[in-house]
Amino acid sequence: MGILEAITGKRVYLDTNIFIYAVEGYAEFQDVLNELFETFDNGNLKAITSELTLAEVLVKPLIDNNTEVCLSYENSIQSSPVLEVVLINRKIIVESARLRSIINLRLPDAIHGATAILNGCGTFLTNDKRLEALSGINVVILSNLLSS
């Protein structure tokens, strides 16, 4: 199954690892992500992520003092016609707590899940199998698309 066949709805939540693979050029995911990003660029799907994503992706480049990668992330993870970067607000925090009360999620994962659910995403794209526990949203594991 290709990535477009795996997607439900018109709004796709992109987890942090998707940005890492795209910006840092993970070759095994390049073709599938190029297909997805082309669909975003054509306006057929809308990409959504949380501002938390930026905080997560910047850690390693900051440790490595890699200002070029930091700038790439800062330029990539900002609201645009194809990507909506959602601010963390009280509703998301409360929904994150609710998610954590019913499934075993780390707080950042719960914030991502709550952001996706509250912003009407039909699909949550990740490579973190722990997020398969989210209910009420189609969780697509990126690496599973490569083996099918």
Triad 125, 53, 62: Cα angle to 5°: 130
Cα distance from N-terminal residue to C-terminal residue, the chain:
6
Triad 123, 74, 29: Cα angle to 5°: 45
pLDDT confidence tier of residue 69, bands split at 50, 70 and 90: very high
At 6-65, the pLDDT tens digits run 999 999 999 999 999 999 989 999 999 999 999 999 999 999 999 999 999 999 999 999
At 112-133, the pLDDT tens digits run 999 999 999 999 999 999 999 9
**What are the residue boundaries of the structural domains of the chain, listed by start?**
3-147
CA atoms within 13 A on the CB side of 59: 7
Per CATH, the homologous superfamily of domain 3-147 is: 5'-nuclease (3.40.50.1010)
For residues 126 and 107, the answer to whether their CB atoms sit within 8 Å is: no
Structure token digits, residue 1: 């199954």
